[in-house]
Structure 1
Amino acid sequence: MMEKILDSGIHDMAAMAFEKHRLRTFKTWPFNNSCNCSTKNMAEAGFYLIASEDSEADAVECFYCGKQLDGWEDSDDPWKEHYKHASYCDFAKLKKPEIQLTVEEFLNLYHNALKNRINKIIDAKIVEAQNHHQDVLKKYKRDYKKIKN
C-alpha cells in the first residue's frame, strides 16, 4: 500500500533532481535562448515545465521545494525569481547549478527533497482519509436517522 502511495510522485521528483531531465521538459517553452529565462537557465535554477491546457504556458515547478511560478518575462532571472518567491528553498539558497554542487551537497538536497515529497504525499493522503471518514460518518448518521424514524 505504501509503495502505491509513494509511486504517485516520487519517481518524477527523483528524475527532476537532475538538470538534464528538467531541461527536457521545456519543449514548449515560450521564450527563446537569448532571454534571461532561457530553458538552460530555468533548468539550472531547479525548474521544470509543468504547463498544461489548464495552466499558463510558462508554468514551472522547483524539483526541490515544489514552488510553482508563472508569468515569466524575458528579463527575469530564474535564480533571483526562485529565491524571491521561495527563500525557504535550500536549492535556491545555494544558488549553484548542479555542475557546481559537491557530491555531499547534491546528496543532501536529494535526500531532503525526497523526504519533503514523501511528507507532502502522506499529508495529502491523511487529509483524503479524514475527508472520507467524515463522509462515511455523515452517511451512517443519515441512515441511522432514517431507521430510527
Structure 2
Amino acid sequence: MDNFQLMLTRFKAFEQMYSYEKRLQTFSDWPFREDCLCTPEQMAKAGFVHCPSENEPDVACCFFCLRELEGWEPQDDPWAEHIKRTPNCPFLLMKKDYGEMTLVDHLHLSSERLNLFLAKMMHVRMAHFSDNVDTTKKSVQKMSF
C-alpha cells in the first residue's frame, strides 16, 4: 500500500479514535507494558493508536495529526515525544476531555483534522510528483547526445 492509500485508510479508520478506550484497544500487542513510560495507557492518552507492521512492532500514529513514531524505548514519554515532533497538533492543544466537548468544539476539531489531512496529502502528492520529475529528467539526460 502506498503512502497516499495508507494515509487515506488511517484518516477514515481513525475517525473512531477520538475515544481513549478505542485507542487503548489497539495496544493489545504493544511491546512495552511495565516499568516504562510508554505503556498502552500513556500512549492512548497522548492520542496514539498502535499501528504495527511486520518489520516495526512499535509503530504508533496520532489518530489526529497522523504523525507516525517508531523506535520507542521504555523511558520515552509519549506526550513529550508527540509534542516534540508535532507541537501544534490540535489534539494536544485541546483543553477539554472529548466527552466534555460541545458540538461546536467537535466541528472545529473535525475541521482542523481535515485540514491537517489535506495538507499531508498535498505534501505526499508533491513529493511523488517531484520524484517523477527527477526520474524523467534523468531519463531525458541519458538520451541526450
TM exceeds 0.5?
yes
The equivalent of 2:73 in structure 1 is 71
Q: Please name the residue that 1:116 is paired with.
A: 116
- The answer to whether the Cα contact below 8 Å between 1:6 and 1:118 also exists between their aligned partners in 2 is no
Give the alignment of 1:1-149 within 5 angstroms.
7-17=5-15, 18=17, 19=19, 20-32=21-33, 37-55=38-56, 57-69=57-69, 70-73=72-75, 78-79=78-79, 82-83=82-83, 85-145=85-145
- Per-residue CA deviations over 1:2-48 (Å, capped at 9, x if unaligned) read xxx96542342233232254333212023449977553443243110
User: Percent identity among equivalent residues?
Assistant: 28
CA distance in 1, matches of 2:115, 2:94: 19
Unaligned runs of 5+ in 1: none
User: In 2, Cα distance between the equivalents of 1:62 and 1:22?
Assistant: 10
Distance 1:97 1:78 in 2: 18
Task: Please tell me the root mean square deviation across aligned C-alpha atoms, in Å.
Answer: 3.1
Confirm or deny: 8 A CA contact 1:23 1:48 kept in the other structure. yes
- Note closer, same or farther for the CA distance 1:35–1:123 as it changes in structure 2 (3 Å cut): closer
Moved over 6 A (4+): 33-36
C-alpha change, 1:51 and 1:9, in structure 2 (3 Å) is same
Cα offset, 1:106, TM superposition: 2.2
Amino acid at match of 1:71: E
CA distance in 2 between counterparts of 1:72 and 1:32 reads 9
Q: Distance in 2 between matches of 1:139 and 1:94?
A: 49
State the TM-score, normalizing by the size of structure 1.
0.69
Aligned residues: 138
Counterpart Cα distance in 2 of 1:122 and 1:104: 27
Which runs of 5 or more residues in structure 2 are unaligned? Answer: none
